[in-house]
Structure 1
Amino acid sequence: MSVQSIMKKFGLLAAAVLACVVVTGCSQKGEAVEKVEAPSEKELAIEKVEAVLKQMTNAPDNEYQKLLREAMDGGVHEFGSAEHLEAEAALENYIKDLYQSYFTEDGLSEFRATAMDSQFQMYDDVDYKLELLESGVKQSDVDTASNQFHITAVVELTVPNKEPTKHKFVGLAIINKKEGKIGRFSIGQKDPTLNHVFNELINSQ
């Protein structure tokens, strides 16, 4: 067989292999590799909002409560002391570990300033368990508000010697279009039943 014939056959074989890889995504074993599409901006936004909602409504977080207590009332340290400042820094770092990947810098600051992060963690003197049962995150139907996502949630509160109670929440998350992160996040009770239960528990201590 001439060198020219060999090279011609080699060229045809190489072309066939290249076509297999480009068109079907063949693996080394000749099997087709399924192409995975990257999630859309909408899907990524919903994932962030759902992650924050799940993190904040499943409580208590014992480490969070410990750091919050030490930072808020000084624990065993005096306000303004080096130890107290260290406690505040420890809380700050813990919150960043939990939420920073979902929020813009300003968004996380507002989230904390409005006590969204701590509203279900501040009852450290009460024996309770809060669990997210249902949630929904829906993008606004308004074209000019496509970065706004409406939130619905149902949580269940369990305390000793009482029947579990369910409570509904609604809220809104606004995505920063430039960064693709949450710029504003807020939820609130449709009625104050959860606060009433917590207040009863505190008053019974």
Structure 2
Amino acid sequence: MSSQRWSAGSACASNPTCRCAKSSFANPSRRQGPYADLFRAPVSFGADADRLFFSAEEWHSPTAGADAALAQVLEEHARILSRQLLPAPSSFGAEVQQAIAAAPVAGGSAAQVARALHISVRTLQRKLVETGATFREVSDRVRGQLAEGYLTDPQVSIVEVAFLLGFSDQSSFNRAFRRWTGESPGRWRQRRGGIQLAAPGLGS
């Protein structure tokens, strides 16, 4: 079970009253018992994506042990994505960009994007080459745009930006952002009048 899937299940499991309406997972069929026990819902496998379904009443009910700070970060993530939504895809490249941006943590792998588009990784790579781009180039472009969107908001720290874009730590994000723009995230934000909110002890 992936860390994201486990986190979602654990959040629900921590609240005895929480009930999923149903759940579906992209991995092949396996024993349903542990999953059904965890999510308290019918489980299916082999879907096009991992999903948990909740009733409107359950969705709006308070979460036991909720993390207000994390909720604020994720809400900002959703707002930025909604502002940067691309128009309906008119090309394969646009479809790939949308799939990357729509990943639970932006910057999904080639395998995740291929699965979202219902094609193989080989087909994804071949069709991108036909457009004159590689998957890494498209992913970097999308993540660079999202990063700039996050960095314009002084309430989102650079550590949080790194997390939202799928980087394992801030140092990795710093190196990638410098490759994309030629400057560090902190300097980019400073030049635009933002506030540097990197965690203590971490560089910008």
**TM-score, L = length of structure 2:** 0.23
- Higher-RCO chain (CA-CA 8 Å, sequence separation at least 6): 1
- Greater fraction strand: 1
Using structure 1 for the length normalisation, give the TM-score: 0.23
Higher helix share: 2
